[in-house]
Amino acid sequence: METTLENLERHWMPFTPNRDFKRQPRMFVRASGMYYSDPSGRRVLDGSSGLFCSPAGHCRPEIAAAVAEQLETLDFTPSFLRGHPGAFALADGVAALTPKGVDHVFFCNSGSEAVDTAMKVALAYHIARNEGQRNYFVSRERAYHGVNIGGTALSGMVRNRDTFGALMPGILHLRHTLLPENRLSRGLGAKGAELAEDLQRFVNLVGEKRIAAVFVEPIAGSTGVIVPPRGYLERLREICTRYGILLVFDEVICGFGRTGAAFAANEFGITPDLMTMAKALTNGAQPMGAVAVRDSIYRTIVDAAPGGMPEFFHGYTYSAHPAACAAGLATLAIYEREQLFARARELSDYFLDAMYALQDLPAVADVRGFGLLAGVEVKPGKAPGARGVELQGKLFDRGLHVKTTGDNAIMAPAFIASRADIDLMAQILRDAIGEY
């Protein structure tokens, strides 16, 4: 199809300055491995696994074949009162990767749905235990938990909230952990574990039995990669356990190998009560999200309900869609066969060396990273975030796709990246940021 301004108008693009895009469209028409191609055939290196979605690289034939075969065999079945084998197999596959005991899996279609589903699981769990008065949620400044009403209310990024007003009552935000003392530190920051005490203060403020759950991204991704201070997540876990508060790790970015382990929970040795995931679950080839739930939570909700009726009045038409399950199973098989999480760990030092080397550029304000995830923050231009948007365009024009948020470029290469891919990524970043 020929691209004209006329036919670009009708698609209202998400999280995009529509008028700018439509004046200067930056389209992709193909992808393979580490590269996208634009309509002219120019190749663009993918520095962000699309949007943290495709760690096994683009257009994997095994995934395409599995989806095609599924669509020819059983294209759709409701997941309410009906099942299909792929859903159960994929739940087993996910549960084999999550920490022991967090092994019941509820499927949905995105990270946002996973977050709102997890909020409802937490509420239903407390109601089933006769603690329905627990209806506060705690999250964190600078958090990103998707765009549904619950997740937007949990979110701690002002631009994602301020258009929509009050959203939901009863949400308390921990302070974020981006501290000047940890500037340019690599991996877990040395300072800031005591910020977890904010949770204790909320307990003191609203009551010992009022908070349902705490949502945190183990590494806050979309805000520009904030790696937690050493001891911080452990302290949150302790306080949650002491007061019967559920700890939810939002692993939508960290999950499936980004830290070098299957999940950040595994990497940091902390077992949350619920985990949300999406994106790399299907290598981005089908929309899918999931919530992994501790056995005791599943048992409490299911066993408290009278028989003969659904125990949890929640679910999506496309929960556990057969094609998404097929993509998920094929993806997990690739991760296993090619040992891609171990590959991410092996490549991490090389990648982080290349990213931290950018700190000598005058315009670089900070570099943060862990595993195969890094944020390079540039000093603000005329308005906060303006340089980030401009930089994203400059990088694209030089042949590198990365996500930017505010004045942060967020790099998350696929785990199949070669050292040469990392070198090229670093060179393009250096050339573009070097212009400031």
Residues that bind ligand PLP (CB under 6 A): 110-112, 115, 144-146, 217, 221-222, 250, 252-253, 278
Nearest CB to ligand PLP, comparing residues 91 and 154: 154
Q: What three-state secondary structure class fits 435?
A: coil
Residue 363 C-beta: closest distance to ligand PLP, Å: 26
Nearest distance, CB of residue 110 and ligand PLP, angstroms = 4
Give the integer Cα–Cα distance in Å for 331 and 189. 33
Q: Which is nearer to ligand PLP, 121 or 252 (CB)?
A: 252
Residue showing the smallest CB distance to ligand PLP in the complex: 111
DSSP result, 75-106: ----SSS---HHHHHHHHHHHTTSPTTEEEEE
Cβ neighbours for 287, distance < 8 A, ≥ 6 positions apart: 109, 110, 318, 324
In the sheet that 43-46 helps form, which strands lie side by side, from edge to edge?
30-32, 35-37, 43-46, 400-401
**Amino acid identity, residue 124?**
A
Q: How far is the CB of 38 from ligand PLP (least distance, A)?
A: 23
Q: Which is nearer to ligand PLP, 317 or 359 (CB)?
A: 317
Q: With respect to ligand PLP, which residue has the nearer C-beta, 278 or 358? A: 278
Smallest separation (angstroms) from ligand PLP to the CB of 11: 17
How many helices (H) does the chain have, and how many strands (E)?
A: 16, 15
The answer to whether 403 and 49 have CB atoms below 8 angstroms apart is: no
Find out whether 275 and 248 touch, Cβ atoms under 8 Å: yes
Strands (E), 189-250: 211-216, 246-250
Min dist CB 95 to ligand PLP, Å, is 20
Closer residue to ligand PLP in complex, CB, 102/432: 102
User: CB-based contacts of 71: which residues, under 8 Å, 6+ apart?
Assistant: 322, 323
- Least distance CB 8 / ligand PLP (angstroms): 22
Helix 111-128 vs helix 295-304: crossing angle, to nearest 10: 60
Residue 304 CB, nearest distance to ligand PLP (Å)?
A: 28
Q: How far is the CB of 270 from ligand PLP (least distance, A)?
A: 16
For ligand PLP, which is the closer residue by CB, 145 or 401? 145
Of residues 110 and 283, the one with the C-beta less far from ligand PLP: 110
Query: Taking Cα atoms as reference points, which of 345, 354, 332, 344 lies closest to residue 415?
Result: 344
Nearer to ligand PLP, 129 or 173 (CB): 173
Q: Which one, of 122, 95, 99, lies nearest residue 107 by Cα?
A: 95
CA–CA–CA angle 268, 274, 280 (5° rounding): 70
Name the one residue in this structure whose structure tokens are 């506060």: 136
Task: Rank residues 189 and 218 by Cβ distance to ligand PLP and give the closer one.
Answer: 218
Sign of CA dihedral 12, 15, 20, 23: negative
Least separation in angstroms between residue 253's CB and ligand PLP is 4
Of the pair 70, 110, the CB lying nearest ligand PLP is at: 110
**Which run of H or of E encompasses 37?**
strand 35-37
175 secondary structure, DSSP code: P
Q: How far is the CB of 114 from ligand PLP (least distance, A)?
A: 7
Within 8 A by CB and 6+ apart from 36, the residues are 28, 30, 43, 44, 46, 58, 401
Nearer to ligand PLP, 46 or 250 (CB): 250
How near is the Cβ of 169 to ligand PLP at its closest, in Å? 21
Compute the distance between CA of residue 156 and CA of residue 160 in angstroms, rounded to an integer.
Answer: 8
